């Protein structure tokens, strides 16, 4: 026992930075950072999309991010569509309808996702219910300034 202690004594860590006055400041900074991340452009979505593709017409670029898991896993997910024009400008004021569909088995789900615009070309699609593992497609129609569609598929574990 003593040989463990005598050989390599733990270095003395100077805790003065975390003295009684500094701790609340440290927490405030951490909380501030968390709030910044929470309200940032990605609002809890991963920085990078799990899928990026071109719409059926070829006029729109679509990127998908998901939470709580990316890519979406079995259960209920929220998926953010980020839609930009060919020149990379955010396209707002579109109306999206999203239908999850399992092509190999020829069925969708009984749950209709809710779509809410989030600005900067973002559209948050909540209540995306994927009840079983396998390949799921997001059959999406886009209307408004652009009338378009897209269907991206991904594997659900
Ligand atoms: Cu199925």
State whether 79 and 119 are in the same domain.
yes
Residues 6+ away with beta carbon under 8 Å from 22: none
Write the pLDDT tens digit of every residue in 100-128: 999 999 999 999 999 999 999 999 999 99
State whether 97 and 66 are in the same domain.
yes
Cα-to-centroid distance, 74 and ligand 1 (Å) = 11
State whether 79 and 112 are in the same domain.
yes
**Would you say residue 45 lies in a domain?**
no
State whether 116 and 151 are in the same domain.
yes
Q: Are 128 and 79 in contact (CB under 8 A)?
A: yes
Number of domains in the chain: 2
Closest by Cα among 79, 152, 80, 147 to 120: 80
pLDDT value of position 24: 53
pTM of the model: 0.74
| Protein residues placing their CB within 5 Å of the ion ligand 1 | 102, 105, 132
**Spans of the chain below 50 pLDDT:** 1-9, 11, 13, 15-20, 23, 30-39
Cα-to-centroid distance, 66 and ligand 1 (Å) = 21
**Would you say residue 60 lies in a domain?**
yes
CATH number for the domain spanning 131: value is: 2.60.40.3340
Write the pLDDT tens digit of every residue in 36-52: 444 455 689 999 999 99
pLDDT value of position 74: 96
Cα-to-centroid distance, 131 and ligand 1 (Å) = 8
pLDDT value of position 38: 46
State whether 57 and 127 are in the same domain.
yes
């Amino acid at each position: 026992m003593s040989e463990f202690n005598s050989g390599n004594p733990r270095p003395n860590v100077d805790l003065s930075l975390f003295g009684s006055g500094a701790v609340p400041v440290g927490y405030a900074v951490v909380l501030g950072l968390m709030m910044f991340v929470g309200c940032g452009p990605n609002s809890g979505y991963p920085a990078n999309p799990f899928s990026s593709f071109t719409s059926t017409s070829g006029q729109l670029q679509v990127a998908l991010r998901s939470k709580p898991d990316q890519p979406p896993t079995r259960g209920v997910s929220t998926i953010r569509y980020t839609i930009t024009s060919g020149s990379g400008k955010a396209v707002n004021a579109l109306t999206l309808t999203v239908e999850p569909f399992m092509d190999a088995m020829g069925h969708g789900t009984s749950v209709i996702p809710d779509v809410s615009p989030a600005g900067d070309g973002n559209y948050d699609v909540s209540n995306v219910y994927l009840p079983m593992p396998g390949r799921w497609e997001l059959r999406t129609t886009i209307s408004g300034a652009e009338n378009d569609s897209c269907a991206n598929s991904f594997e659900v574990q």
